[in-house]
Each structure stands twice: as C-alpha cells, then as structure tokens.
Structure 1
Amino acid sequence: MIKLADALAASALAIGMMSTLGGTAQAASAGPESARVVVDETRNQIAVVGQGAISAAPDIMRLSVGVEVRRATAGEAFKAARSASATLTRALVRAGVSADDLTTNELSLGPEYESYPKVTGYRGAQGVDAIVRDLSKADKIIDAAAAVGNEVRLNGITFEVSNPGRQLEAARAAAFKDAGVKAKQYAALAGRQLGEVLEISEEVTGGPTPVHLTGALVEDKASVSPGRQTLGVNVRVVYRLR
C-alpha cells in the first residue's frame, strides 16, 4: 500500500454559487483529513475524503427558560414553582410563542441544607423550551420572559435551520465533486486512471449555535442576532483504479 498524505492539499477546488438553495455551496478548506488519500495497489483502489459546506441563515430560535423558587416547605415550594411557571407560560404565549411550541424540560423539587442533615428550606424549579418561529419577535419574547419576575431563569438560546435538507443536498454535491477532483489528480500522479465509485460514506458537520444569555444582555435590551450557520458534509469515496 502506498500512502500519499498531505501531498497537494491545496488541490481542493471551490464549488460555484448555488443561490437557488438559499446559500453558497463550496468545497471546505483543506485540512489534514481532507488531504488524506490512500492508494491501494493490491486492490486497485483509491480512497479520498471530500468536503463541502453551505452557509445558511437560521430561521428559528429555541429559548431555554424556567422558574426557580425557595420556600419553607416542600409543598409551598412545589406550588409556588408551578404557579410561577404558569405565569411564565402565559407571558410567552402573549408575546407570540405558540402553545404547541412550548415543552417542559425540567420539574424538580428538593431540600436545601445549611449543613446536612439540617434542612433550611426547599427549592422548586420548572423549565420550558420555547420555539420562536418569527425571529423578529425574539427580543420581545425574551423581554417578556424576563419581566415575569425574580423567579425567572434565562438559560440560553439556540439558533437553528428548521429544515436543513436542501442546504445539505448542496453541501453533499460539493463534497462529492471535491472528492472526485482530488481522486482524479492523485490517480494521475500515481500513473493510473480513475474508475467507477465503489463505496461512499458521509459525516455531517455544523449545526445549532448556542448563545448564553446574561443579565446585562436583558437589562440593556440588546438585540440578539442569529448570524449564519455553516452546514458541512465530509464524504469518503472509494474509487477503482485502472
């Protein structure tokens, strides 16, 4: 077996603009894995890793928010947490979140100790994930949640592309073309000709972008921005050599 590693890493070619899919598809920057090529003379095969990526604007936001209370008894803490959570839910719905886009992600109740086993009180908490589908309302919804009261805990937001299928199709096409360009060049360098594809496997990269909210952000009413996300595909393609 002859291994040609890190030779001609700069051979990755950019793929043209694919505006019909809502972003720019291109061959990803060459790295150690993208330049790894294996020519197997005994089996007449060459394996190449191609990379492709597309930049897309997120269209939904996930807000992780909840309430936390402390009371003298477990019953009081549980009741107060449930009441505060109901108030929070109503505020989110009034601000523009659909009730169908609210999901409970935490419900907890437990003692707090001054020094074990002496109990000083009980902590009750309930959390919710809210999907915001209209990003123009993002600031309004965050402000509405924070205004519920001191019991509210803003845990962070995540921006996502709700339907990444079309973007991934473009990234996949770019990665496959990138692999073909590399394989053809390496085959020629090895004095061979490139044959048919024998095997394809892929790995999807990129995804949601988490953002942690701070007290200063809420107090200043700073605008939250989704920015852009890069969805990428690494594809390993095995070709026959002739």
Structure 2
Amino acid sequence: MIKMSQAVVSAVLASAGLFGGTALADSEPVEPAGSGRVTAAVVDRPQIAVMGEGVISVTPDVMRLDTGVEVRRPTASEAFTAARTAADALTRALLAAGVAARDLRTDELSLGPEYKEYPTVSGYRAAQGVEAIIRNIDSADDVVDAVAAVGEAVRLNGVSFEVSDNRVPLKAAREIAFRDAQLRAVQYARLAGRRLGIPLEISEQSVTPPTPRFSAASADKASISPGRRNVSVSVKLVYELE
C-alpha cells in the first residue's frame, strides 16, 4: 500500500479542482451551464434557408410501340417458322410505315409447349416481340394501322411516350425554381424585419424527369395522343440576412 501525507493529498485534490482550494491566478473562469453568455467567436450572422420548385409541362415527341407476333402450331418447328414469318411481315410493315431500321428492336423470342392436360402436349406456342420507336408522333396512328393490318398473329401490347431532349425543359425548370426560392427568401426576410444579403449556398435537391400528366384529346384529333409531361426541379438557397 502507498501512503501519502495529508498535505500531499490536499495539494493533489486542489490542483484537480476537487478540493475547496483557490484557483490558480492565470486560470480562466468556467462559465456555469445555462448562464446564457455566448462568446463572440461562436456568433454567426443570421441566415435564412428556403426551398424553391420549378415545373415545366412539355409535350412528348417520341412514342415507343410494344408489339410482336404470337402463333400456335402442332409442332415446335412449325410454330417457330410461322412466328419468324409473321415477325418478318411485321418488320416490313413498320419499315413501310416510316419507322427507321435503327429504331426497331427484338425484345422477345420464345417457343414452348402448351398442354391440354399435363403432361399431354396439345401444341406449341412461339412468339417474337418487337419494340418500335416512332419519332414522328403525327404518324403514330398510321404506324399502328399498318401493324394491325399484318394479320391475326400480331399483338399490340402497349405504348409509352418520351421527351427526346430533356435539357431545354430542365434548364427552364431550374430558372423557375431559383426565382421561386428567391421570392420566398425576400418575403421571409421582410417579415422578419431584415434585408436579404448574399446567397451563401445553392444546392439542387431533386430533378424529376418527365412524368405523365394526362389530358383529354379532342374528338377531331388522332386517336393516339401523347398528352403532356411535367419536368420538375427543386433547389435550396441559403441567404445571409442583414
């Protein structure tokens, strides 16, 4: 066991602040918690952070047509041959309707048995899917009519619409979002009795690519309508308040 004199123990406790002795002359006083005193070193200039949103509505200029052929025959070879023949006729019809060869893509090729009562095979089903990109939407109805005229093997599985170049609407949406945030900041600064200072931070929070916004088509227009799509951008601005 290590023994220490009372004088040594008192000196150690006093230096650690654990004994009722006096503080050293050059030590800084500790501010008690909750005193409310804030030193100048941690005071920041007042700021305001706001969000702005910009939305632009655009008309899609590209249509994707999901189509293909499907046949059933007694044997696998007959089904596959019939499907390839029908797919060739479909491709020629799409090309004749103005779809470019580079805008055609095979997206399915299948062959399999069908059962009357398993495991008894009743025949074979063969299918070949084709995706066609129609860049002139005004011709969309003509393309669909040409596909339907190919024959009973043809299947129309649906359409979707796109905006080929998002850069222009996104640029406009960013400008609207910035002005929206700026106007909000000015209003809040005025309500607080302050003036808006310089922007300290500008950060783009989210960008939403074109999303569908459906609208009714007029009766005298084509039956296939791309409707409208919304492009949106949100931005965060942080301003200094004066």
Could you tell me the TM-score, scaled by structure 1's length?
A: 0.69
Matched, 1:227 2:213: no
Cα shift readout 1:96-122 (whole Å, capped 9, x = no counterpart): 111111111212222223343333222
C-alpha displacement at 1:208, in angstroms? 5.6
> Aligned equivalents of 1:222 and 1:50: distance in 2?
38
Matched, 1:154 2:156: yes
Cα shift readout 1:130-151 (whole Å, capped 9, x = no counterpart): 1112222211110000111111
Matched, 1:183 2:169: no
Is contact 1:65-1:127 (8 Å) kept? yes
Tell me the amino acid that sits aligned with residue 125 of structure 1.
A
SS at match of 1:80: helix
5+ residue gaps, structure 1, are 1-40, 212-220
SS at match of 1:66: strand
What is the identity percentage for the equivalent residue pairs of Structure 1 and Structure 2?
A: 56
Is contact 2:213-2:230 (8 Å) kept? no
Which one is further off, 159-168 or 106-115?
Answer: 106-115
> Aligned equivalents of 1:84 and 1:163: distance in 2?
34
Q: Which residue of 2 aligns with 1:75?
A: 77
> Aligned equivalents of 1:163 and 1:85: distance in 2?
31
SS at match of 1:140: helix
Aligned residues: 193
Superposition RMSD in Å: 2.8
> Aligned equivalents of 1:178 and 1:66: distance in 2?
47
Is contact 1:45-1:240 (8 Å) kept? yes
Cα shift readout 1:171-208 (whole Å, capped 9, x = no counterpart): 11101111111123224434554442324023223526
Closer/same/farther in 2, CA of residues 178 and 160 from structure 1, 3 Å limit: same
Matched, 1:104 2:121: no
> Of the two, which has the highest radius of gyration?
2
Closer/same/farther in 2, CA of residues 222 and 73 from structure 1, 3 Å limit: farther
Tell me the amino acid that sits aligned with residue 200 of structure 2.
V
User: Aligned runs of 1:25-36 on 2, under 5 Å?
Assistant: none
Could you tell me the TM-score, scaled by structure 2's length?
A: 0.69
User: Aligned runs of 1:1-242 on 2, under 5 Å?
Assistant: 45-192=47-194, 193-207=196-210, 209=212, 223-241=223-241
> Aligned equivalents of 2:172 and 2:147: distance in 1?
38
